Amino acid sequence: MTVTDSLPMELRSTEDIVTVRQMVRRQAVAMGFGIVDQTKIVTAASELARNTVDYGGGGTVRIEIVRNGIRSALRLVFEDQGPGIADVEQALKDGFTSGHGMGLGLGGARRLSHEFEIDSKPGTGTRVSILRWK
């Protein structure tokens, strides 16, 4: 398996989220993802980027291209040094929000991805990684 990754992009503002959406879309198109799959990964990216900005106090995202034989995938790794999530199980449940959201972002991103990993510790920060095969 080979991984090609981009430099981490800053996620601080709504503008940065728009930029990430564009970068993910561009990469998905370049890899030959169909329109539906493009939209799935862009939507998941958007939700996780929004969480990074809103709850993580800002952070970074890395866009990675994973190749395994003839298969290829897009992997996105979001990281922040924010407050972290005390109860990850609860945070993943549809409808749970600590803010004013709908509580659908994390669960939605998980459903839109083939692989989903979350690592979060209170006081340390949060790392969410998603992968979608072409």
- The single residue among 38, 41, 46, 55 that binds ligand ATP, judged by CB under 6 A, is 55
Q: Are 89 and 39 in contact (CB under 8 A)?
A: no
Query: How many residues interact with ligand ATP (rule CB under 6 A)?
Result: 23
Q: Minimum distance between the CB of residue 132 and Mg ion, rounded to whole angstroms? A: 18
Q: Are 51 and 110 in contact (CB under 8 A)?
A: no
By the rule CB under 6 A, 56 interacts with ligand ATP = yes
Residue 125 one-letter amino acid: G
- The single residue among 103, 112, 116, 132 that binds ligand ATP, judged by CB under 6 A, is 103
Q: Are 126 and 58 in contact (CB under 8 A)?
A: no
Q: Are 78 and 13 in contact (CB under 8 A)?
A: no
By the rule CB under 5 A, 27 interacts with Mg ion = no
Q: Minimum distance between the CB of residue 123 and ligand ATP, rounded to whole angstroms? A: 11
Q: Which among 91, 68, 92, 49 is positioned nearest to 4, based on CA atoms? A: 68
Binding residues for ligand ATP (CB under 6 A): 47, 51-52, 55-56, 80, 82-85, 91, 96-99, 101-107, 126
